[in-house]
Chains A and B, each alone.
Chain A
Amino acid sequence: MVVAGVGRMSEKKTVIDVKNLTVGYGDFILMKDISFDVKQGDIFIIMGGSGCGKSSLLRVLTGLVPAQSGDVMINGQDFTQATDQERALIMQKCGILYQSGALFSSMTLAENISLPLQQYTDYSPQLIKELVSLKLALVGLNGFEDYYPSEISGGMKKRAGLARALALDPQIVYCDEPSAGLDPVSSKLLDDLLMEINQSLGTTFVVVTHELASIFAIGKDSIFLDAAIKGIGGRGNPKELLKNPPNNTVLEFLTRGEK
């Protein structure tokens, strides 16, 4: 299902193209036949109420759960039909920031961030060390190389998770509820960080969230997933969607049900 766009920028290159995708588990269908595309350099928001299938859609986009039908094209390559090896190659260009940070608890922050570098590059240990320090500095965690995840706060874990997601200079970074569990100030700082990285490195972000403050602060483009229609209830810049809501469900969501 394609919903007419509001205020979309169409001149940019498409990095993710989702065509007629159906997401679900067995007989339980969450999203049916949805299509959308993500442009290079955008911060693309996947929003919707709790239980509408945002995180499941992200799991399909990242290959953790197979699609029931349809295609996900990443830079023109068919991700859903790719072999494991092809997928691994595609995913080298993608980073993921998980809701919990998903840092490996038995490793220091430096070891966490160096893992994808060791896996996919032939860099010398010295260069990896320098890159790790740089990535940590980028997210404001300079000097925390030897800390374990259990020794830092929730907000810092998210930042360290972002540093790991950025380790291989990915073209696309997927973020699953980055603001979840953070206080408003930490949440805003993380939003600012995403925007700075987006502007300075040109990284495309696909952010799954239902935090309105984040949606309006960082979203350049978005889709609204509507559980009632099992599809996309709205598409476009979140601020534009608020001004010209395509339907009441989107308006209710974007105004916390106050209008």
Chain B
Amino acid sequence: MTLKFKSDSDRFEIDLGGDFIAYDDNGAKEDLYRSLRRFRGKEVVFAATDLKKWDSSLVVVLFEVARLAEGNTVKVDWSSLPQNLSELVRLALEVDRKPEQKKTIHLPFVDKVGDWGIAVHSGIGKGGRFIGETLKSVWRYITGVAVMRKVDLWFALEDSSYKAIGIVSLVSFMVGLILAFVGAIQLKMFGAQIYVASLVAIGMTRIMGAIMAGIIMAGRTGASYAATIGTMQVNEEIDALKTMGIPTTDFLVLPRILSLIVTMPILTMLADLMGILGGAVVGVVMLDISAAEYWKYTLDAVKMNNFSVGVFHGFIYGAVIALCGCYYGVNCGRNADSVGVATTKAVVSAIVWMIVVTGILTWLLQVWGV
């Protein structure tokens, strides 16, 4: 390919020859543009008799030539170019809406903090209203006037119960195993390895079982709630519900929250059991504790109050996960990207709120001596 140019006081001639496929000679292009910027003559003309193949990379050059010529009020004579090539350039130049340049606003730090404060305040208000609406839905359910299909509740129960057993069991078993390993290293130093059974039993039943089940269900079921309801928002299904006068909390949130507050305590008990089994494997195989002895120490350690506290945490976590999943689903935007954002926020916020609630409950239970 050849890109040559020459100019006199009136004419600026550009000579194009050969193939211009994926033309990317920035040096030659810059030379051309620089000369054209300085040109103050009457017209730009082309000599393209030797031009063979070309693609958009040549149109890019010609488009820039046209803009530079226009800037210097120089006429461009396209007649020497192949007709389809000059047609493309004409098409590109035809409509120039000259949109306003987007302004990037750099807010001062104080303004950013202020905006953040307003967003947090509005988020708390929105979240509060959502919880209020959900409580009203629960009340409507208790009084038998909620618009909820039983089949939706069954589907939600199915999804958050036996389908979750495998993953909850596996992860809890491994956590019990790890807890026993870590404990054994320290307890062995005092010859107190038998207390690994107590450590695992108390740890799993009091809090770890609930937390592990909660984290798994936040990632599995909470995310699924946000994605499903978010997609319904994108598909205008939530608009359809609203215009039919059906409360979205009754129809979408209620079955999901009811299913999770029922299944989470059960999954917590399963996690407790699997964690204890994981600990037992370490105790029996690595620490040479007999199975009977391990079982005895476990039963001695598991007190009803620890067990109840764990199950109660599971119940609360169930409500937190369902609320976060449904809240971000219902408030999802109207595009595919928003569904991804809603899903991420649902999981992250569920885990954060679970930790916050755990902190509050732990303090309260400590104060009450439970």
Whether the pair B239, A88 counts as a contact (CB closer than 8 A) is no
Is B245 an interface residue when CB atoms closer than 8 A count as contact?
A: yes
Contact yes or no, A100 B235, CB < 8 A: yes
Determine the distance from Cα of A45 to Cα of B243 in the docked complex, in whole angstroms.
Answer: 20
Roughly how many angstroms separate A164 CA and B243 CA in the complex, as a whole number? 12
Q: Which of A90-98, A124-132, A236-244 contacts B (4 or more CB under 8 A)?
A: A90-98
Q: How far is the CA of A99 from the CA of B235 in the complex (A)?
A: 9
Q: A208 to chain B: closest CB distance in Å?
A: 13
Residue B236 CB within 8 A of the other chain? yes
Q: How close is B160's CB to chain A, nearest CB, in angstroms?
A: 16
B155 contacts across to A, CB distance below 8 A: 106
Expressed in whole angstroms, the Cα–Cα distance for A88 and B239 within the complex equals 13
> Does any Cβ of A come within 8 Å of B237's Cβ?
yes
Q: Which residues of B contact A115 (CB under 8 A)?
A: 244, 246
Q: Which of A102, A120, A164 contacts B236 (CB 8 A)?
A: A102
- The chain B residue with its CB closest to the CB of A85 is B245
A102 B244 Cβ-Cβ under 8 A: no
Contact B235 A116 (CB under 8 A): no
Among A104, A106, A119, contact of B245 (Cβ-Cβ < 8 Å): A119
Interface residues on A, range: 20 to 34
The complex places the Cα of A22 from the Cα of B205 at a distance, in Å, of: 59
Q: Is the Cβ of B240 less than 8 Å from the Cβ of A102?
A: yes
* CB-CB nearest in chain B for A103: B237
Q: Is A105 an interface residue (CB 8 A)?
A: yes
Complex alpha-carbon distance, A238 and B243, angstroms: 29
* Residue-wise interface mask of A (123-144) relative to B, using a CB-CB cutoff of 8 A (1 in contact, 0 not): 0000000000000000000000
| A185 sits at the interface (CB 8 A) | no
A102 to B232, CA, bound (A): 8
- Asked if B244 and A91 make an inter-chain contact with CB atoms under 8 angstroms apart, the answer reads yes
Which single residue of chain A is at the shortest CB-CB distance from B245? A88
Chain A residues with CB under 8 Å of B237's CB are 102-105
B76 at the interface (CB under 8 A from A): no
Query: A78-92 CB contact bits vs B (8 Å, 1 = yes)?
Result: 000000000110011
Given contacts A87-B245, A92-B245, A98-B239, 10 further A-B contacts (CB under 8 A): A59-B239, A62-B243, A63-B242, A64-B242, A96-B239, A100-B235, A100-B236, A102-B236, A104-B232, A115-B246
Question: Which residues of A come within 8 Å of B, CB atoms?
Answer: 59, 62-64, 87-88, 91-92, 94, 96, 98-100, 102-106, 115-116, 119-120, 164
- Give 29 pairs: A residue, B residue, CB < 8 Å, sorted on A: A59-B239, A62-B243, A63-B242, A64-B243, A87-B245, A88-B245, A91-B243, A91-B244, A91-B245, A92-B245, A94-B243, A96-B239, A96-B240, A98-B240, A99-B236, A102-B235, A102-B236, A102-B240, A103-B237, A104-B232, A104-B237, A105-B232, A105-B237, A106-B152, A115-B244, A119-B147, A119-B244, A119-B245, A120-B245
